């Protein structure tokens, strides 16, 4: 059984015990190509948000996720190398695209477990003491948003990317071989003298940078959940699932260089603790 399947089984079991399905995502603003405020009037550029540092008050308590026994709670023993490494005979861009989609689906599940608390109690998109994430509007000015709104925007923005066939192609408009996945050929792929990840399988020249932007935003949801809603995860007995999912996410992002060291700062102590336990053993080194 895959790691993603093991998490899915847990959420399905919890939903049955509660007599229903996991709560759906709310109606979200924006549409493909138009996104930002409730009217959909803003469109993000290459970067949809910014990090705003604020003074750190003295006497900050150790976060719950760094305390025992929670920091040791995991579903899997050993490291994640075997489930993130590129399989033989699989195109690298296809592998990154598949995992990007699955990480997105499961980060939605985790967020849905604490969405009600987030809507009521999170006036800012906080990632712990000293860090808030602001949304960049069409005028490129950072704006503070409630975490609930910020995450709505992020999930909509990611969904629009994943369902845009010019970014994540699924069909071939030129030649189709029976039994094979159909791929849309990128117009840039027709140009000579250029190369990029996924060119041969029809992915656009900016595919990798789009994946990096998506991973950055998914990490910010992780950071908010850990710093603000970890107690909710503990009450739901999901701390081992969250820790394992996060370790899987970091392992994959390291293996394929999808996140910068600066992106990881809000959860760097947790990542370092996982490193000490050799959870990332065999995966590429941490980004510089």
Known binding-site residues for Zn(2+) equal 118, 122, 224, 229
Task: Tell me the three state secondary structure of residue 136.
Answer: strand
Contact call for residues 105 and 276 (beta carbons, < 8 A) = no
Q: Which of 241, 27, 22 lies closest to 114 in space, CA to CA?
A: 22
Contact call for residues 155 and 74 (beta carbons, < 8 A) = no
Q: Look at the block and give the residue holding tokens 């370092």.
A: 272
Alpha-carbon distance values, 197 to 89, 203, 266 (Å): 15, 8, 29
Tell me the sheet residues that pair with 134. 50
Q: Specify binding-site residues.
A: 118, 122, 224, 229
Distance CA 288, CA 207 (A): 22
Pairing outcome for strands 125-126 and 49-53: unpaired
Spacing of C-alpha 209 from chain mean position: 14
Contact call for residues 146 and 195 (beta carbons, < 8 A) = no
Distance CA 70, CA 277 (A): 14
């Amino acid at each position: 059984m895959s790691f993603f399947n093991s998490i899915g089984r847990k959420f399905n079991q919890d939903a049955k015990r509660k007599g229903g399905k996991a709560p759906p995502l709310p109606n979200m603003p924006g549409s493909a190509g138009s996104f930002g405020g409730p009217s959909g009037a803003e469109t993000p550029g290459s970067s949809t948000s910014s990090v705003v540092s604020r003074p750190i008050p003295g006497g900050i308590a150790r976060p719950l996720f760094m305390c025992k026994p929670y920091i040791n709670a995991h579903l899997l023993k050993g490291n994640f190398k075997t489930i993130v490494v590129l399989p033989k005979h699989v195109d690298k861009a296809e592998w990154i695209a598949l995992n990007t989609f699955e990480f997105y689906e499961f980060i939605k599940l985790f967020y849905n477990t604490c969405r009600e608390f987030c809507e009521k109690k999170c006036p800012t998109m906080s990632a712990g003491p000293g860090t808030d994430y602001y949304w960049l509007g069409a005028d490129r000015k950072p704006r503070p948003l409630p975490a609930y709104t910020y995450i709505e925007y992020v999930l909509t923005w990611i969904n629009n990317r994943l369902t845009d066939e010019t970014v994540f192609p699924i069909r071939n408009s030129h030649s189709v071989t029976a039994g094979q996945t159909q791929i849309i050929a990128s117009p840039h792929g027709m140009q000579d003298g250029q190369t990029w990840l996924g060119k041969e399988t029809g992915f656009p020249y900016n595919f990798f940078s789009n994946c990096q932007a998506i991973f950055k935003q998914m990490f910010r949801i992780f950071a908010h959940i850990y710093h603000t809603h970890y107690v909710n995860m503990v009450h739901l007995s999901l701390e081992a699932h969250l820790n394992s999912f996060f370790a899987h996410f970091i392992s994959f992002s390291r293996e394929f260089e999808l996140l910068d060291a600066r992106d990881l700062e809000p959860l760097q102590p947790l990542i370092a603790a996982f490193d000490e336990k050799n959870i990332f053993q065999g995966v590429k080194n941490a980004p510089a």
